[in-house]
Amino acid sequence: MSTIIGQPMDRTDGVLKVTGQAKYAAEFPEAKLAHAVLVTSTIARGTIASIDTSRAQSMPGVLLVLTSRNMPGLPGAKSASPPAVRRLSLLQDNEVHYSNEPIAVVVADTLERATDAARQLRVAYQASSNPVTDFESARANAHKPAPQQGRAVETLRGDIDAGLQAGTVRVDAVYTTPMEHHNPMEPHATMAAWDGPDLTLYDTTQGVTNAQAAVAKILGMKPENVHVISPFLGGGFGCKGSVWSHTALCAVAAKEVGRPVRLALTRPQMFGPVGGRPRTEQHMVLAAHPDGTLTGMRHDTYANTSMIEDWTETCPMVTRMLYAVPNQATSWRLVRMNVGTPTFMRAPGEMTGSFALETSMDELAYALQMDPVALRLKNYAEVEPQENKPWSSKHLRECYHVGAEKFGWSRRTDTPRSMRDGHTLIGMGMATVTYPANRSDASALARILPDGNAIVVSGTQDIGTGTYTIMTQVAAEALGFPVERVSFGLGDSRLPRAPGSGGSQSAASVSPAVREAASGARRRLIELALADGGSPLHGASPDDVTVVDGWVVSRADPTRRDPAAAIIARAGGQPIEAEASAKRGEERERYAFHSFGAVFAEVHVDADLGTIRVARVVGVYDVGRVLNAKTARSQLMGGIVWGVGAALEEETLLDARYGRFVNANLAEYHVPVNADIGTIDVTVLDVPDPHFNSLGARGIGEIAITGVVAAIGNAVYHATGVRVRDLPITLDKVMAV
């Protein structure tokens, strides 16, 4: 019986964070630290004719101006393997592929001097007269990319033409979403220090092992000579899931000046060189019988990528698995533009895809004059419809029912614009939520120390989600120790290997390894006690003893007990260690693994002004077993909050004349603040997944952003009768009727 796992334990690193003791990549002081500033292009396409560095180089304190003229050739500069290792801008040539592309690095003894000197560079460009900056016109040259992460570019099941014709009620609509950029509180930063052939990097990364491998490859080094440390991250969300140019440039700069160098991106530099969410255009065609049974569905998408690499926002993934539609076709195409390469951004594909799918389902519900929840239940997928596999665990039906009940869905009147309170139009909308359950191989090491405390470590990351805390809980429970006596270490490439913290996989991948390692250490502690003539438990059978609060105890006679510290002391004082790995098995051959949920939103729209407030959001989630009720709730709330931002606010605006983002700052790139968020009510079903891993826990980092945008848009339609198919849903679009 679980006593620690699942408890709403406070974050073990909470005090460190609120007192400023938690150190982030840009905060590691090194003796003789020098400061680098990244210089980026001001044109979107062309070549650099020259960079006059003379003035910058003569300024006081300036140690280095790195441009393509003096940049060393890098063995792996072009050998990157996307998407984990990106096509980088490493000053190996004079080509410019997008605005804000790295073109130089200036290093000085202070940040102020480096910043000042960077402004004195005189860059002459030969700008191309035709940068590709307009998505609509570039779409004519769209191409079919290679599959990304093994995902089929096109799918077809059944007979799509017959299916679309069989349904007498149809929806045919195009949905568009804008480019967006990650804005975690902490922008990317790297601190690089060399010691002979060894490189230490303090880096904002969602994967210390991936970063180690990528940097080693780029610089032509052995991975064992690269040590990556990342104890805390001020938010990841996907942008820190790849190694980008500045990390390698910082390492080179440090080598060149012979001093440790810190390079922190500015907020505007978050817009371009480190990825973002691409613009998407999604064409949905749905057909159904009058009773709501789906007969056919098409989902064809375009999304932009850059000129240097194909990266796909895989929108139709959600359409392929969510409903039991017998005839279906989906596809994606990429549109090359002179912008930075897009990347993973919280639920990449699922966020944008669920907006199109779940909005089109709402439109179909109105066309059928059917309740939106009933339409979804009518087409409930009892098995995974694309591969016809059973779900490992699916409780979506319960999510709809519990959500509708908590939200008060029965109070909703069917007709748009039928609910109001004075000048306020009230709208209620809902959507299905889903995200795949991912898992990779991971390992961990547990060590019981002579003082009776335990340390458990794994080379995973805490990207702000609560990894330190949940792993402490898993370890403590498996050890039989109180949580106060267990500490958890992570964020270091020298620790036992664990996967990158992306795809919502860390909790699900690492916790089985942590549990295995901790159980192994516990077994050894028991063995030591039983074999020890000095122990009150000497001679007992292993089955008759357990570990409680750090004491080995006889089950039959709890007065026979022995604390870990005494056991270790009598055995010679050496720590007890156990290492373990947890790997995926054959379960994916037999089951489809997904998490699910239902989200309901109530919006208030000013009838005269079109201003939209999200008054309430109710979300109910089936994510397997919950490891910590508090961090889980925080994750899910955070996903909903971001969904509100994506629905109503977020949009990176590209000036097509110059290919520059005009709102590359937090004043004009709008994200929700507290005043934008109404009541959020999160419920987690907490049903363990019997087939996924030994804990039954699936990931929760990304799921809650899915569905929210559609639920809000559907509520806006219900409030106003205006269907906005282009994100963000702003008041001008609501009033433009």
Considering only residues 6 to 35 of the shown chain, the ones binding ligand MOS according to CB under 6 A are: none
> Between residues 352 and 730, which has the closer beta carbon with respect to ligand MOS?
352
- In angstroms, give the least distance from the CB of 342 to ligand MOS: 11
Give the count of residues interacting with ligand MOS (CB under 6 A): 12
CA distance 422 to 732: 21
- Which residues, 6+ apart, have CB-to-CB distance to 120 below 8 Å? 55, 56, 59
The SS3 of residue 51 is strand
C-alpha distances (whole Å) from 668 to each of 134, 187, 643, 649, 650 are 21, 17, 18, 10, 10
Q: Nearer to ligand MOS by C-beta: 241 or 491?
A: 241
Q: Which stretch binds ligand MOS (CB under 6 A): 24-32, 87-95, 343-351, 712-720?
A: 343-351
Ramachandran area for residue 360 (φ above 0: left; ψ -120 to 50: alpha; else beta): alpha
Q: Kindly tell me which residue out of 348, 597, 645, 699 binds ligand MOS, with binding defined by CB under 6 A.
A: 348
Question: Does position 292 bind ligand MOS by CB under 6 A?
Answer: no
Stretch that binds ligand MOS, among 2-10, 133-141, 342-350, 517-525 (CB under 6 A): 342-350
Does 271 sit near ligand MOS (CB under 6 A)? no
Q: Which is nearer to ligand MOS, 219 or 233 (CB)?
A: 233
When CB distances to ligand MOS are compared, the closest residue is 238
Decide: is 346 part of the binding site for ligand MOS (CB under 6 A).
yes
Query: Under DSSP, is residue 513 helix (H, G, I), strand (E, B) or coil?
Result: helix
Q: Are 364 and 278 in contact (CB under 8 A)?
A: no
Q: Is 241 in the site for ligand MOS (CB under 6 A)?
A: yes
Cβ neighbour number for residue 568 with a 10 Å cutoff? 21
Using CB under 6 A as the binding rule, whether residue 275 contacts ligand MOS is answered as no
Phi/psi for 84 (5° steps) reads -65, -40
342 binds ligand MOS (CB under 6 A): no
Least distance (Å) from ligand MOS to the CB of residue 500? 8
Q: Is 465 in the site for ligand MOS (CB under 6 A)?
A: no
Stretch that binds ligand MOS, among 28-36, 308-316, 345-353, 453-461 (CB under 6 A): 345-353
Least separation in angstroms between CB 238 and ligand MOS: 3
Please give the Cα distance from 398 to 639 (Å, whole number): 21
- Rounded to a whole number of angstroms, the minimum distance from the CB of residue 708 to ligand MOS is 16
Rounded to the nearest whole angstrom, what is the least distance from the CB of residue 506 to ligand MOS in the complex?
Answer: 10
Other beta carbons within 10 angstroms of residue 605's beta carbon come to 27
Helix (H) or strand (E) holding 648: helix 629-648
CB of 321 to ligand MOS, least distance (A): 18
User: Among 53-61, 154-162, 338-346, 447-455, which window interacts with ligand MOS (CB under 6 A)?
Assistant: 338-346
Tokens of 665: 């700052």
Q: Please check whether residue 52 is in contact with residue 119, taking contact to mean a CB–CB distance below 8 angstroms.
A: no
Distance separating alpha carbons of residues 635 and 624, to the nearest angstrom? 14
Q: Of 51 and 709, which has the nearer Cβ to ligand MOS?
A: 709
State yes or no: residue 503 binds ligand MOS (CB under 6 A). Answer: yes
Query: What's the CA gap between 292 and 569, in Å, rounded?
Result: 71
Q: Is 206 or 432 the residue whose CB approaches ligand MOS more closely? A: 206
- What would the 3-class secondary structure string for 306-366 be? CCCCCCCCCCCHHHHHHECCCCEEEEEEEEECCCCCCCCCCCCCHHHHHHHHHHHHHHHHH
The least CB distance from residue 180 to ligand MOS, in Å, is 12
* Tokens (6 digits) for 436: 């795949």
The minimum distance between CB 232 and ligand MOS, in angstroms, equals 16
Residue number, 327 or 501, with CB nearest to ligand MOS: 501
Strand-pair partners of 108: 35, 62
Residues 138-177 close enough to bind ligand MOS by CB under 6 A: none
DSSP letters spanning 113-174 = HHHHHHTT-EEEEEE-S-----HHHHGGG-B-PPPBTTB-SEEEES-HHHHHHH-SEEEEEE
Nearer CB in complex with ligand MOS: 348/512: 348
- Closer to ligand MOS at the Cβ: 87 or 346? 346
436 scored as a contact of ligand MOS (CB under 6 A):
no
Q: Which residue number, 237 or 302, has a Cβ lying nearer to ligand MOS?
A: 237
Q: Tell me the window of 39-47, 144-152, 252-260, 340-348 that interacts with ligand MOS (CB under 6 A).
A: 340-348
% helix, strand, coil for the chain, step of 5: 30, 30, 45
β-sheet bridge partners, residue 228: 201
Check residue 270 for interaction with ligand MOS (CB under 6 A): no
* Binders of ligand MOS in range 667-706 (CB under 6 A): 702
User: 373, 306 in Cβ contact below 8 A?
Assistant: no
Q: Which residues are catalytic?
A: 702
Instruction: Give min distance, CB of 239 to ligand MOS, in A.
Output: 8
Asked whether 641 and 672 are in contact (CB, 8 A), the reply is: yes
> Of 231, 502, 597, 713, which lies in the binding site for ligand MOS, with binding defined by CB under 6 A?
502
Residue number with CB closer to ligand MOS (163 or 238): 238
**Which residues, other chains included, contact 643 with Cβ-Cβ below 8 Å and sequence gap of 6+?**
351, 599, 617, 704, 705, 706, 707, 708, 709, 711, 712
Q: Is 353 in the site for ligand MOS (CB under 6 A)?
A: no
Per-position x/- string for 201-240, each x denoting binding to ligand MOS as judged by CB under 6 A, each - no binding = -----x-----------------------------xxx--
Among residues 4, 345, 442, 483, which is the contact residue for ligand MOS, using CB under 6 A?
A: 345
Handedness of CA 39, 43, 45, 51 (dihedral sign): negative
How many Cβ atoms from other residues are within 10 Å of residue 148's Cβ? 18
Residues that bind ligand MOS (CB under 6 A): 206, 236-238, 241, 344-346, 348, 502-503, 702
